[in-house]
């Protein structure tokens, strides 16, 4: 029989995801935006994704965010801005990717050398459409970087969205090996000014301590891989 310490040593370790759900006072909005501020840089070998996920009124949804070591459309790895949408009709932009795995859809991904301490405004919005499809654009700081077409029957934005930090690297040998992620998600706004009417912060599954969601003025701070207190 294997000794207890051997079983413990073989156990895969993963952090707990951090989440903030937002509920909106109405549905059918054509745009939503938020400000994302990475407070620390977890480093070029870390694997973190900071995203705002949305859903349409009657169909699928998607997300927009920044990554530390993303799989870019050109095959390189590194800091990246990404806008993805499940089960959509097609995409256009400098970094179009057809994705699979956790569902299928279209994604636009560009190298984006974000810096710790800088605030970035991320936005998705309907920019064109007809009776068959609506075209959604993703932008950072007012610069559009890709468009994705979704069925018009899905409508526009539904009454819920969620912000999250994901660690997408493999299991680590020790929780202490996780790089420290610390970002502020600003409270989102729809159609240029409408705020959500309530929110809920929570943690996901995982077996490493060091994850937290903390309210701050104007938003929430998400942390993962926090160093243990001395």
pLDDT digits (tens, 9 = 90+) for 145-177: 999 999 999 999 999 999 999 999 988 889 999
Q: Give the Cα separation of 50 and 222 in Å (integer).
A: 9
Identify the H or E element spanning 66: strand 61-71
Domains located in the chain, CATH noted = 15-224 (2.60.120.200)
The chain-wide mean pLDDT, for the chain, equals 93
pTM, to two decimals: 0.93
Q: Give the Cα separation of 69 and 214 in Å (integer).
A: 25
The phi and psi torsions of 175 (rounded to 5 degrees) equal -60, -30
| CA dist 55 → 6, 13, 182 (Å) | 44, 31, 25
pLDDT digits (tens, 9 = 90+) for 27-83: 999 999 999 999 999 999 999 999 999 999 999 999 999 999 999 999 999 999 999
Q: Give the Cα separation of 220 and 223 in Å (integer).
A: 10
**Structure tokens given for 170:** 């493999």
**Structure tokens given for 121:** 């405004």
| CA dist 93 → 90, 103, 148, 149 (Å) | 11, 21, 9, 12
| pLDDT score recorded for residue 149 | 98
Q: Are 169 and 46 in contact (CB under 8 A)?
A: yes
| pLDDT score recorded for residue 230 | 60
Q: CA 68, 178, 38, 28: dihedral to nearest 10 degrees?
A: 80
């Amino acid at each position: 029989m294997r000794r207890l310490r051997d079983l413990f040593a073989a156990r895969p370790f993963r952090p707990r995801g951090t989440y903030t759900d937002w509920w909106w006072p109405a549905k059918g909005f054509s745009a939503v935006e938020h400000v994302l501020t990475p407070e620390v840089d977890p480093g070029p070998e870390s694997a973190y994704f900071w995203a705002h996920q949305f859903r349409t009124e009657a169909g699928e949804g998607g997300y927009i965010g920044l990554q530390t070591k993303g799989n870019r459309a050109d095959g390189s790895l590194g800091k990246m801005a990404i806008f993805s949408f499940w089960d959509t009709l097609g995409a256009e932009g400098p970094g179009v990717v057809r994705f699979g795995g956790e569902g299928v859809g279209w994604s636009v991904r560009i190298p984006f050398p974000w810096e710790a301490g800088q605030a970035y405004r991320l936005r998705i919005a309907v920019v064109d459409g007809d009776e068959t499809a609506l075209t959604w654009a993703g932008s950072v700081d007012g610069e559009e970087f890709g468009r994705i077409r979704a069925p018009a029957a899905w409508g526009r934005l539904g009454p819920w969205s969620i912000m999250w930090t994901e660690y997408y690297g493999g299991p680590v040998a020790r929780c202490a090996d996780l790089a420290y992620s610390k970002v502020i998600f600003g409270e989102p706004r729809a159609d240029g000014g409408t705020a959500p009417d309530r929110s809920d912060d929570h943690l996901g599954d995982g077996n490493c301590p060091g994850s937290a969601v903390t309210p701050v003025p104007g938003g929430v701070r998400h942390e993962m891989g926090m160093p243990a207190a001395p």
